[in-house]
Structure 1
Amino acid sequence: MEASESKRSVVVGIFVFLGIILFVAGIFTLAGQQKRFVKSININAIFDNVAGLKIGNNVWFSGVKIGTVKKIDFYGSSQVKILMNVEEEAQKYIHKNATAQISSEGIIGNRIIVINGGSLNLPNVESGDRIGVKKALDTDKMMEDLQANNKNLIDITGNLSVITTRMVEGKGSIGALLTDSSIALNLRSTMAGLSKASNNINNTAVSLSAFSNKLNHKGGLVDKLLTDTEVFSQLQSSVGEIKKLSVAAASLSNDLTTAGAKLNDKDNAIGVLLNDQETAESLKKTMLNLESSSAKLDDNMEALQHNFLLKGYFKKKAKEEAKEEK
């Protein structure tokens, strides 16, 4: 009986001892996580909104845990003062113009404070110093923006659904192109015409290039005009002669114009004959009288030739003319 009680006491003692060991190990583990046995300094920061930060949340610097949130108090009218317990070893990396920002461990993790070390040329912080803050991202605002973006995305997908439905039904220009074979054939014909026109333009460009090369051929007219000074001087001389001829033609035209103007005047004989009706009638009568007188003169001469008094004279004259002709 006593042996069994002794054995039970030993077993209970062992379990108690193991419990004490586990308890002490837990205490040391928690203390290690909370940096309870590490020399530290206290710094503080004033935030407008701590976004659910709690006492015991971690303080990070460059991705490394350097302390914990020690105390949270209200400050002023609506601000919050955060007291942080930071390792003394990290003090040399944190400067007077350092800033603190509330963030989170992952997307939905615990809230943490992230410290930015500041400028290297400034002194390090000391215990009791207050550092600046950087406004944290507002997750509620982010969720509102995300919901608005989701609504816009739903509207866009709805519009795309309507557009694709109309296209499938053959409505609109694009739908007609996709479903109407005649429009597709016309478009294909138009593209073929454009391709043919492009080929014609290319052929024309080639022809123009060949023509240009011929113009620049050695010994050609254009080459001589551009390079042969003798041909150029001859051409220049010809142009000068053409200019002189043009001046002479202009002078002749002016003279003809002047003469034509004088023909319309009555201060000269030709002008009177062309423009004076009475003078023209008188001249016509004079010409008729001259013709009548000439006929009568011919008759008189014929009569004189047959007159016996002058008959010998005319015979002698006829013989002399016949002799001269021989």
Structure 2
Amino acid sequence: MINRRYAFIFFILVTVSLLSACSEEADPDGDGKIKIIAAHNQTSPDNPYQTGMLKFKEVAEEKSGGSIEVEVHAGTIGTEESELVEKLQLGAADVVLVSPGFMTQTGIREVDLFSAPYLFNSYEHWLRVVDGEVGQQMAKIINEKSNNAFKLLGYWTAGVRHFYGKKPLESMDDLKGVSLRTQTSGVIGDFWEATGAIPSSISWGELYQGLQQDVVDASENAYPFFVQQSHHTTPNGKYITETAHDFTTRFLLINGEKFDNYSQEHQTIILEAAKASVEAERAATNKQDIDYKEKAIDEGAVVNEIDRQPFIELAKPIQNNFAEEIDAEQMLQAIRQLAEE
């Protein structure tokens, strides 16, 4: 009986110690204040990512009365998303923004479905997916398969991605043999290889020089991102063809274990700040999609449209095969059904 009593007391002491340790990790100074390192990979101060992160900082600090401090890093602790994912896992960053492609490197392959070319047919379709049941399902997958290392705070957009290169595209045949900076593996790489292009994995930070020096023939991205980096002023970035192959998804993530150790009040404030950041970033991106297209044309870029239907038809079986491979057929079907609403 005595042994049981001591065992119970020991259990209580261990539990209290663990809870105390968790509390100290979330609030190391014990003063009720926490510091959040928030990071994205874009270096331009005008980038929509920065707008979103600064809104997150503003709301978190204001609503907490200063008990939450947010330090925003714009490419200063990593210009590659793989670096940011690693820092989030190691605790060197608390909130980061990453793309589906880089999330697959953590073993969560389902997220790459959201980057499949021509999965979404409009911005409104994208909204119905990410802000609805499918988005909630994906958030749950991310949290569970990462063992709570990642908790989704919201879905940001990165605009509508288009092709840009040394020549305009008049048809899919014009892509044959073209060296294209894009994701080289996964569903994105499969799609571009099927068009006849040759995917290249040159880093974002080196892409301007790569386009300037003929290392790659072309690239693909949304207006706010490639125009801010002056890619359209290079010989291999002058011709923009509006393929609209991706209404882009970005994941705003927080370290789930750290989040769970914050006080209930701080958790609520962080979620409110995340919601405000989603709204601010989406608005900024949509406005810049228009503004930076005009800027590109004013600075000599040539924009043309193309019949997208052949690309759409090419993408469908690739989507089907990938969804089957990652056991996401039902999710793909749900996304397609939302396109018809």
TM interval, short-chain normalised = under 0.3
Q: TM-score, normalised by structure 2?
A: 0.17
Q: Which has the higher contact order (CA 8 A, sep 6+)?
A: 2
Structure 1 or 2, whichever has the larger Rg, is: 1
TM-score by length of 1: 0.18
Name the structure where helix makes up a greater proportion of residues: 1
